[in-house]
Amino acid sequence: MSENTEHSKNSNIQRATQRQSGDDRPKRPQTSLPDVQTLSSLTLEPYVDTHTHLHYVIDRLPEKFGVDSYQDLKDRYCPPNMEACINVLCDPQSFNTDQVFPGTYSDWKVMADTGFIYLTAGVHPHNSKDYNDFVEDRMVEILQHPKTVALGEIGLDYHYDFSPRDVQRRIFVKQIELAKAMAKPIVIHTREAESDTWEILIKHIPQDWKIHVHCFTDSPQFAKRLLNHFSNLYIGITGVVTFGSARNTQEVVRSVVPLNRILLETDAPYMVPAKLNKNKRTAEKVNVCHSGMIPFVAQRISELMGKGINEVMQAARENARNMYGV
């Protein structure tokens, strides 16, 4: 995540609850969306968005877009070379949506039944304080579904400390052990917690385990240590790489991570690629990201690496296949 972006997981679930119950309906943010022609203009190479929250995307889109299903979002607003996405469930409340919102876009079983969507499930460090046996049981139910390809995002976030740090560490380890018991790849969230993240990873995860360090914003030195130690670890790059302030992420792409260890992700609805808002007036700005914007992430990576965008897309597609089997 960027310095100015935060996963407001609980508030998003609460807004969805309010909207679908019809009580105290909140005002959705105004936004525009790029047309498919714009998103298709950079490359036609097939791709997978390896980390997104499409349920939050639909939650945030104003009614004027008329999007109430994942297939509709893909067909109308994403380029045709988008093959699949990994939709991440990381708030404990999202594990119950098949009961609370059955048959709606918020229902995780509806997500799993959508052809191009695969799932991960894990308790985000912000919500570590809410972890209990009931939450774990519901999470395991999702993890046992054949469309669920990993456990996560899990980890440490010392920027906000929404959960106490000792609780974050304990729940991080607990979920790592669960992932190993279930033979699931692991999706890591780490922010301003390099030392503790490193100590937990090297102590509890085998060196050849499949790991996706999502939305990397930490130091290039940390990225290098991770890549050197874990042979199947991938670095996830989001639209944050297009931000002028993202010097760490840009340096990691420029000089640390090899092309065969990089994953493309949006972390949608967050991290709108900067070029999509260049020279736009406030009323025209794109405030909601979605999986169709991956080509703009790849474009910036290609510039930093000095490689063609198609080469980046092809390598990232193969990396997604190796990491997730998708």
Q: Is the pTM of this model over 0.85?
A: yes
Beta bridge partners of 264: 237
What pLDDT was estimated at residue 27?
57
* Ranges of H-type helices in 182-274: 194-204, 220-229, 247-255
Closest CA to 186 of 134, 238, 122, 127: 122
Burial classification of residue 62, based on how many CB atoms lie within 10 Å of its CB (0-12 exposed, 13-18 middle, 19 or more buried): middle
Average pLDDT estimate for 187-199:
97
Structure tokens that stand for 301 in this block: 């990576």
Q: What is the pLDDT of residues 302-316, one digit of tens each?
A: 999 999 999 999 999
Q: What is the pLDDT of residues 252-298, one digit of tens each?
A: 999 999 999 999 999 999 999 999 999 888 889 999 999 999 999 99
**Percentage of the chain modeled with pLDDT above 90:** 89
- DSSP result, 62-107: -GGG---SHHHHHHHHS-TTEEEEEEEE-SGGGGGHHHHSTTSTT-
Is 12's pLDDT higher than 60? Answer: no
**Percentage of the chain modeled with pLDDT above 70:** 91
Q: What is the pLDDT of residues 127-167, one digit of tens each?
A: 999 999 999 999 999 999 999 999 999 999 999 999 999 99
Which residues touch 65 (CB under 8 Å, ≥6 apart)?
33, 77
What pLDDT was estimated at residue 29?
67
Q: Using alpha carbons, list the distances in angstroms from residue 30 to 66, 121, 159, 182, 285.
A: 14, 30, 28, 42, 9
What pLDDT was estimated at residue 5?
40
3-state helix/strand/coil string of 122-160: CCCHHHHHHCCHHHHHHHHHHHCCCCEEEEEEEEEECCC
Q: 67 falls in which pLDDT band (50, 70, 90)?
A: very high
Helix or strand or coil: residue 163? coil
**For the domain 32-324, what is the CATH code?**
3.20.20.140
Closest CA to 323 of 49, 72, 27, 18: 49
What pLDDT was estimated at residue 135?
98
